Amino acid sequence: MDEGTLHTFRSLAQEVRAGFEKMKEASGELRVVHGYLESKDMVDAYRSLCLPVRRAYNESDRVSFRKVCVALRQSTVASVLEGVSQAVTRYEKVLVDLNSTTTLNDRQLLHREVFDAWLDASVFGDFAGKDRKYRALLDECGKAVEGIAVRITELVANQVLELDDLVADALGEERRS
């Protein structure tokens, strides 16, 4: 069992918890932007979840959800092994959602396209033009694309927290809340 990966994943899960806490504390002034209600603090709070979510979602990252599951399958704790199978099933449902589409302004949008563009824009900003694709989606389809992105961000973030409980059990550490 790769304990280094598991410990790093625990830190990642702590970042997710901090992001959710920031969302609870966000109480920014509501305003209407392009016909949508928006709270700048809340949008920023969602963005704070994006780095840890991107790492868990990115298959090539050392602490991707799938790689952590592979490490956990080497555990000798029976409840961890059972829990990993259940966690993978729930995560796969999130991935299925990424393959669904929504029609906005007469354009079929693949949720994965929106989510990937959102993560790149949130994590990298305008560095090397990483936000161009997301900005183009916003321009073409409106703020509704943000709704798709933040919903999937929350789904993946919740899966990270669920998996963190199993990582804690595998390492013999205390679960965090």
Q: Is residue 113 part of a domain?
A: yes
Q: Is residue 177 part of a domain?
A: no
User: What's the burial of 108, exposed, middle or buried (CB within 10 Å: 0-12/13-18/19+)?
Assistant: exposed
Q: Is residue 176 part of a domain?
A: no
Question: What does the alpha-carbon distance between residue 75 and residue 172 come to, in Å, rounded to a whole number?
Answer: 11
pTM: 0.88
Question: What does the alpha-carbon distance between residue 68 and residue 134 come to, in Å, rounded to a whole number?
Answer: 29
DSSP designation for 128: G
Work out whether the CA dihedral 58, 59, 62, 63 comes out positive or negative. positive
Q: Are 20 and 157 in contact (CB under 8 A)?
A: yes
Q: Is residue 126 part of a domain?
A: yes
Q: What's the pLDDT at 35? A: 59
Task: Domain count for the chain, please give it.
Answer: 1
- Structural domain of residue 48, as residue ranges? 3-171
Per-residue pLDDT tens over the stretch 92-133 = 999 999 999 999 888 899 999 999 999 988 888 776 677 888
Q: Which of 14, 175, 15 is nearest to 80 (CA)?
A: 175
Question: What does the alpha-carbon distance between residue 95 and residue 89 come to, in Å, rounded to a whole number?
Answer: 10
Across 24-28, 48-52, 64-68, 125-129, the highest mean pLDDT is recorded for 64-68
